[in-house]
Amino acid sequence: MGRLRRSINRKLEDHVYRNTAKGNTYFYFEHPVAKAKGVPRKYFGDDWKAANEFAKKVNPQLSPLKDEIADFVNTVQPEIPVVTSGDGREQQQAAKLNATCKTVIGLFRNTAECKKWKTKSYWGTRDSHLSILENEEGNLVFSKLTASICGEIFKQYREGDGRMQFRKTLSSVFKFAVNEGYHNTNVALDYTLDSESRFTKRKRARMIYPSFIRLQERAEELDKQWLSDAMGLGLATAQSRCEVVKWKIKGKHKNLITIDGQEYLKFERQKTKEKDGGSWQLIKIEGMLKDIIKRCRVRAMTQGSPFLVTVDEGRRILGKDKEHRCQCTDDHLTKVMKKVADSLDDLEGSAVFSEIRSLACRIYYKIHGFEFVRDLTNHEDAKMTEEYLKGDEPTLKEGVADLRYEMIRDIKIQN
């Protein structure tokens, strides 16, 4: 470590020196690297401030840490103008334009939208996306992100349709960033994904009806009649677990209603609950659904529960997410069904409750046709209904080649 400078010279930058000759004081810059290469010292006369300014610019360029310094300077992005006016809003905006990805993601995690994600089944996926942006790409200046940079991030960390999911997450972050002044546009949506990445490929097998029956029978053998009936509710109504477990038989928000002597199941789809107007469904109770609801009602009344799906076996505790100790939550339904499936050997197809909805759609389609299924499922568009009707086997489009010679003679063909 070099010797401390005299107090008179401590105002000078590194490698700026003071000298006196014939009663005159002058200042010069002499860097050891330049000296070793025979470069003469640079004189500034009596202007020590000019010597200091020169040293501030040259010293970093000749430093062994010059690459690290360059990376740091690029991170700060000096081309973004520094606001010197007294307007606090302009100064705040300049600070936002210099914010890193880590800062912006940290702020986004505290938004209402991100907090809502935490209550959804896809939170694990979204959280992993945010962690990548926060930790792996945290040093990038958020305002300098472009569509091409976003594309590079998607390709580096995800494959196939996982890139589409990543883009959805980043797009939500950009919406927040644009509103708060951390960016000017949602560049995540400007990046065009290739065809392999744009479409979600179903990786899970479909449930088949023989396996559905085996699961129901096994549930009853294990004294889980409530699970068997919950599966029956899902099949008869073509609804998912988040609807089935929330249906009530009594109370202010009961779902079983009577209109002109006919009983109906009235409920709001959970996926569209947050949208304006929601998506309400009214299902007429007939056939097997009537018998299942009768058993469920007796079970619920016995346990004093308002819920159609009431758990009447095992340990039942009133938790923070439950209105009644016998209430069945989404997660509990999934876990119990998995245990039942694991106790069976050579079970074909999927054993996930969500696949019961697709199975119901395929059965109703065979009986009543496409429009009936779309009305029952309350899908927003036909494409979604078509997706639920897809099985694991390739779909064969049937046609008839009935062209006859006499048909050709009577028509005029445009060439």
Nearest CA to 269 among 302, 253, 247, 287?
247
Least confident of 111-120, 318-327, 346-355, 376-385: 376-385
% of the chain with per-residue pLDDT over 90: 30
pLDDT in tens, 233-288: 999 888 888 889 999 999 888 989 899 989 998 888 776 665 554 577 888 888 89
Give the number of residues written for the chain. Answer: 415
Q: How far is CA 375 from CA 194, 230, 257, in A?
A: 33, 22, 19
Cut 0.75: pTM above it = no
Strand ranges inside 248-349, DSSP E: 256-259, 262-268, 280-284
Run of H or E including 295 = helix 287-303
Run of H or E including 395 = none
pLDDT in tens, 26-81: 899 999 888 888 889 999 988 888 888 998 888 888 887 777 767 766 666 555 55
End-to-end CA distance of the chain: 92
Choice between 389 and 136, residue whose per-residue pLDDT is larger: 136
Quick one: 374 exposed, middle or buried, by C-beta within 10 A (0-12, 13-18, 19+)? buried
Given a cut of 90, whether residue 131 has pLDDT beyond it is yes
pLDDT in tens, 205-243: 888 899 999 999 999 999 999 999 999 999 988 888 888
Residues 6 or more apart whose Cβ sits within 8 Å of residue 184: 143, 178
Task: Identify the band that residue 175 occupies on the pLDDT scale cut at 50, 70 and 90.
Answer: very high
Task: Collapse the DSSP code of 113 into the 3-class scheme (helix H, G, I; strand E, B; otherwise coil) and give the result.
Answer: helix
pLDDT at 273 (0 to 100): 60
